[in-house]
Chain A
Amino acid sequence: MSALLSVRDLRKSYGDRVVLEGIDLDVEPGEVVCLIGASGSGKSTLLRCLNLLEQTDDGTITFEGSEITDPRTDERAVRRRMGMVFQAYNLFPHLTVLQNCVLAPRFAHRRSRREAEARARDLLGRFGLGDFADVHPDRLSGGQQQRAAVVRALCTSPSLLLLDEVTAALDPELVGEVLGILRELAAEGTTMVLATHEMSFARDVATRVVFLDAGRVCEEGPPSQVLGAPLQERTRAFLARVL
């Protein structure tokens, strides 16, 4: 039981629509797991289930040794240990970038304002956003906004980072800067699970690629295998469509 996160037979439906049909997934510390799959295959749903934004129907999720699908789980305590970044609308537009970053440390982690701001400024500086700490998000480009959203998630030092197509809403020329910061984090050993359509990024950075098809894990393995020499016909068909 050394896995940071393990998912067993996870099921989720919306009404009659079955979205996850028994997912099994393990994530070891330091891994970068890329979820790929067609639109509607359940990538976002899986990520939202992982940090308990969605209620699961069946199956278990174990995170840092405790079963978080247990109804007695303190959901907020779990979310404080997991960062999550969405495709868009992450930042709070009425707060400055710095205020965005210190909200969770101050009010969910009870750090002092001073300590929270010092850490946030330090991280913003490291990821090239030092000059934007005191402006509102609408002054930032889309790429800068997503970078700031990633930094905000890092401010609480989560042990797992969940990223849901964080580059999908960006203009192509802005994608690179966001993937750049993820690359840096991967190099530092940050554990991440990310849904992505960026196959070249998955190939470069992922330690493991998981191909979801119709709510199941169809194939998983190192990127060289899943993206380079897939075993499953469905994986081949999907890759033929997206590459």
Chain B
Amino acid sequence: MTVVVLGLLLVGLVSSPGWERVKEYFFSPEAARESWRAVLEAMWLNVRLFVVCEIGILVLGLLIAVARTTRSAWLAPVRVVAVVYTDVVRGIPTILLITMFGFGIPALQLQGITNDRVVWAGVALVVSYSAYVSEVFRAGLESVHPSQVASARALGLSEGRILRHVVVPQAVRRIVPPLLNDFVSLQKDTALVSVLGVLDGVFWATNYANFNFNYTPMVVVALYFVVLTVPLARLTDHLQKRLVERERAGAR
């Protein structure tokens, strides 16, 4: 049934009057041949940006989450800062942060810091995503049963040891699926650096389109992004499923 429907749709699409033009603009074999390599090289920037930012985001996100969940009195100011940070940052569109950091900071011509737009775009991504990821971490930390902390405290463990050996490991297990979801989203958002005129995959394809009136490289970039995200998405599903099964087994 699905096959028939899809088949009919495909036939309809291909036989429609505009199909020849669509084929020429979006699926031109010459343009694809000409661009796939260059686009791939430009995509390498997106991949590097993703990996480096992800590490920064995980570290910063965890720190913010821990700051927000601790109850010690002398950390109260840190807690306020963390709350304001997550609230403010989550309200600002990522693309705006990237433009502000990427164009704004180099424009200040400050001594001793880099003017590299890619670096600042990366910082903007870390700032933006750490606010979201810290909320994921926080949900995880708070999902650990209070008795677990009481048990650990009763054993004479220090607060740092409790966090490290008891709370964080349990929290992380539970938040892997939502965390991976944010990874997928970050992977795509690395494309936002193209607004800075940085030569990433998307910028390359946009340029090509402007000069050659052909959008095939965009399709190529899209394919690359899909190829990158699909494994991550499948992994998320898989881990989510395993988690559900495990919790069920644990609840016996």
Contact = CB atoms under 8 A, between A and B. Distances in A.
Contacts of A51: 154
A134 to B, nearest CB: 18
A156 B147 contact: no
Contact of B147 (A89, A108, A153): A89
A135 interface: no
Greatest chain B CB density within 10 A among A89, A92, A104, A153 is at A92
Nearest to A91: B151
B158 interface: yes
Nearest to B167: A92
A79 B147 contact: no
A187 B169 CA distance: 38
B150 A53 contact: yes
A156 B151 contact: no
Interface in A48-106: 51, 53, 76-77, 79-80, 82-84, 86, 88-95, 103-104
B38 interface: no
Given A89-B147, A92-B170, A79 B249 contact: no
B21 interface: no
A14 interface: no
A94 B157 contact: no
A174 to B, nearest CB: 14
Given A94-B170, A138-B249, A104 B147 contact: no
A104 B155 contact: yes
A104 B156 contact: yes
Nearest to A87: B147
Contact of B161 (A91, A94, A108): A108
Nearest to B158: A76
A84 B154 contact: yes
Given A53-B153, A138-B249, A138-B250, A92 B148 contact: yes
A86 B150 contact: yes
B147 A88 contact: yes
Nearest to A141: B252
A156 B165 CA distance: 18
Interface in B115-150: 145, 147-148, 150
Contacts of A82: 154
A89 B156 contact: no
A92 B149 CA distance: 10
A79 B169 CA distance: 23
B241 interface: no
B157 A107 contact: yes
B37 interface: no
Contacts of B169: 94
A146 B110 CA distance: 62
A53 B150 CA distance: 7
A89 B151 contact: yes
A138 B156 CA distance: 24
The 6 closest A-B CB pairs, nearest first, are A80-B156, A104-B155, A89-B147, A84-B154, A108-B156, A79-B156
Given A82-B154, A88-B147, 5 more contacts: A51-B154, A76-B157, A92-B151, A107-B165, A149-B151
26 contacts: A76-B158, A79-B153, A79-B154, A80-B156, A86-B150, A89-B145, A89-B147, A89-B151, A90-B147, A92-B148, A92-B170, A93-B250, A94-B170, A94-B173, A95-B165, A103-B155, A103-B157, A103-B165, A104-B155, A107-B158, A107-B165, A108-B155, A108-B156, A108-B158, A138-B252, A149-B151
Interface of A: 51, 53, 76-77, 79-80, 82-84, 86, 88-95, 103-104, 107-109, 138, 149, 152-153, 156
